[in-house]
Chains A and B, each alone.
Chain A
Amino acid sequence: MSSEALKKLENLTRGEYEDLYRDLISFAEFRLGFNSNRGVGAEDIVNTVFRKVIDTERDDHRKWDPQKNPNFRNFLRGCVSSEISNHFNLKATESRSDPDSNPDINFFENLESGSDLIDEIHGKELRDFLFDELVEIDEKLAEVLYFTEEGYKPNELVDKLGFSDVNEVYNIKKRLRRACEGLLEKFKNE
């Protein structure tokens, strides 16, 4: 049976699909970067997600419902997140309810698991470690991260933190990303 996702993909231009593919690969690559023992590539993860989304006959099919989740890209990113989590937490996933059972699950709701991810660094959770390090670099970075965690959207941060426009938030996000990458390098070299 034809899925909405298949129709959507068939209607994308070559350029649109390449852009989507690059987005998903970079997203998976960034998430996987924080895993101490990956054993899987970003392309493997993304391709598995496409197979699950397109093949309606699979038991683990992920159905895209454009009414409930109009943004196809966000839907796929959510699938990539849960695919990564499932990959690193297979045993735990088997013993609890299957996150794939609700394919329309919120983008962040499937992100808790990941037993093989860097859970603790020097006795702290990754999140706390990041905050402590970021405050050292620039308090603004920690501030943006804190309010994002609280659910603020980039345009809401503009008012909240007195930025001139949303690009300032995106620039801070770039710095945050680089800071995280820097921290990763630091762990690897320790």
Chain B
Amino acid sequence: MDKNSSKILSWLGDFEDKSERDEYLKSKGYDLEELDKRGMNFLGDLISTQKLKQGQRHKELFQRAKELLEERRDEIELGSILESINKSNSQFAYQFSKLEEINEEDVLGMLSDEQLLLIVEELEKEDG
């Protein structure tokens, strides 16, 4: 299909008027209440699945960071890694300046996936 035809169809497929949109959907055989229900169920399942995956990912990252720290305990400390990451991520500095008393595992437990990943990458980089 030529670009202009596609552009025209896309413009026309965008309904400003909600009641016209709903009438259009009905004319195409949709039961709106059923459609809403299917949409909500689909989204609910999708979000739950994604959350489960994220939980699993977080667990894996936490475990990996813990193992790497354990393996390299003689060479490197979590504090120095955090310090190195601090340079490029001010959030770390703010978070940990007040948490010096907390043990390593608790610190790891407070981190987000993104932060754990940074630590794992840092440990793997230094390991390599």
A residues near B, CB below 8 A? 1-2, 6, 9-10, 14, 17-19, 21-23, 25-31, 34, 43, 47, 50-51, 54-55, 57, 77, 81, 85, 107-108, 111-114, 117-119, 125-127, 130, 145, 148-149, 170, 173-174, 176-177, 180
Contacts and interface: CB of A to CB of B under 8 A. Distances in A.
Given A22-B21, A30-B13, A10 B47 contact: yes
Interface stretch (B49-57, B72-80, B95-103, B120-128): B49-57
B1 A112 contact: yes
Contacts of A43: 35, 38
B42 A47 contact: yes
B interface, size bucket: 35 or more
Interface of B: 1-18, 20-22, 24-25, 28, 30, 32, 35-36, 38-40, 42-43, 46-47, 50, 53-54, 57, 113-114, 117
Contacts of A27: 10, 13-15
A126 B5 contact: yes
Contacts of A23: 14-15, 21
B16 to A, nearest CB: 5
**Chain A residues touching B, majority SS:** helix
**Chain B residues touching A, majority SS:** helix
Contacts of B20: 174
21 contacts: A2-B113, A6-B50, A10-B47, A17-B39, A21-B35, A22-B18, A25-B39, A27-B13, A29-B25, A30-B9, A43-B35, A107-B10, A114-B6, A117-B1, A125-B4, A125-B5, A126-B1, A126-B2, A170-B17, A173-B11, A173-B16
B7 A149 contact: yes
B12 A177 contact: yes
